[in-house]
Amino acid sequence: MTFANRNRGGSGVYGRALLGALQSRDDVKPWVVEGPRKSDPVGTMRWLVRGARRSIATERPDVLHCPSFVAPWVDAVPIVITVHDAAASRYPGDHPLEWRIYTRFVMPWRLRAASRIITGSEFAKRELVEVYRLDPGRVTVIPYGLDPEFLIHKAGAPSVEGPPVMLFPGAPIGRKNLDGVLRAMAAAADGSALAGVKLDISGARAQDFPEHSRQIRSLGLEGRVRWLGSVPFAELPAVYCAATLVVYPSLYEGFGFPPLEAMAVGTPVVASDRGSLPEVLGDAAVLIDPATPRALAQALEGLLTNSDLRRKLKDKGMTRARQFTWEKCAARTVEAYREVLGATRHAS
């Protein structure tokens, strides 16, 4: 659990969910090595260089799997590293300084030293091969899963009282493109559905994103935007269900949990046609060019006003989402472990 323990979303969801699925199997015995929970560059490097090695010295594993992009200096056992994308290189401004330094100067070397790299989409694989100059044969694509709570949650129609609600899920860092959503709302024609829609932003507080807060005020959207803050994971299915639609015009994704979670509970999605999203969402979402404000506005207006389209996307989305389970992910991950061990034994 190398630093996945710090993250509530993304790599944290992946690490915790995969661990749980592996623990339910009888052909693998997983145990946890945790890095420091606080972000401290000096402490981080000390743990990577010495701490992890000491942690596995008493009970040497067959394979060490790092479920985020950080890998310690351990050469005694084969290392498998999951890297979700190359966002830290493509969009460095979205990441803290310590991770920008790590991904530029350390990560390429650690990835080339790994026995196997796992990622969640073919798009992410292409990105990792290009950015970090990896051998494609050492990068395995294993799609991620969804928490069972999303798959069993009873889908229901949003409340008909009040204006429709769009949900923007997750913290609005630069590449997530909240700016495009706000501009589409502000430019909507009087009397249109988009002109009256409300926007909920989950996973963030207004004070954490002052630039967006100022933009909301300057566009005259204060009364139409609500910051939900950090929503407990158990409450997320209900938050998705309460929305008329989910808008996710991200400029870059290696997988894309939020739109898939929304689809699982029956909420229609408007998403970007970039990155991994077309691969993951298929034809079960409305995909648009996120760099074209008019395309985003037209897609939102069309979905808000077309109940037949919403029902169609609800059915297709729920079917699509059920293809992604942690049991499948764990089974293919164990296969990757066995391949690594087989190659190691053959080499020795």
pLDDT in tens, 107-125: 888 899 899 999 999 999 9
Q: Alpha-carbon distance 249 to 251, whole Å?
A: 7
Rounded Cα gap, residues 176 and 252, in angstroms: 7
Higher per-residue pLDDT: 92 or 244: 244
Q: For residue 248, what are its two tokens?
A: 């996710």
pLDDT band at 127 (very low <50, low <70, confident <90, very high): very high
Task: Provide the pLDDT confidence category of residue 278 given band limits of 50, 70 and 90.
Answer: very high
Structure tokens at 172: 């609005």
pLDDT of residue 220: 96
Q: What is the residue-averaged pLDDT of the chain?
A: 89
- pLDDT tens-place string over residues 5-21: 555 666 778 999 999 99
**Average of pLDDT values for 147-157?**
74
User: pTM score, two decimals?
Assistant: 0.90
What pLDDT is stored for residue 117 in this prediction? 97
Q: Classify 148-321 by CATH class.
A: alpha beta
Average pLDDT over residues 267-285: 97
Instruction: Tell me: pLDDT of 66 over 60.
Output: yes
Q: Please state the domain extents for the chain.
A: 4-145+326-347, 148-321
Which comes out higher in pLDDT, residue 71 or 131? Answer: 131
Q: Is the pLDDT of residue 104 over 70?
A: yes
Q: Which residues contact 185 (CB under 8 A, 6 or more apart)?
A: 194, 195, 197, 199, 219, 221, 224
Same CATH fold, 148-321 and 4-145+326-347?
yes
Using the predicted structure, report yes or no on whether residue 44 has a pLDDT greater than 90: no
C-alpha to C-alpha distance for 116 and 333, rounded to whole angstroms:
11
User: pLDDT higher for 141 or 56?
Assistant: 141
Average pLDDT over residues 197-226: 95
Whether domain 4-145+326-347 has CATH 3.40.50.2000: the reply is yes
pLDDT at 243 exceeding the cut of 80: yes
- Position 63 scores a pLDDT of 94
pLDDT at 161: 67
Q: Give the phi and the psi of residue 60 in degrees, each rounded to 5.
A: -70, 125
Mean pLDDT of 310-339: 97
3-state secondary structure of 120: coil
152 CB-near residues (< 8 Å, 6+ apart): none
Q: What is the pLDDT of residue 159?
A: 54
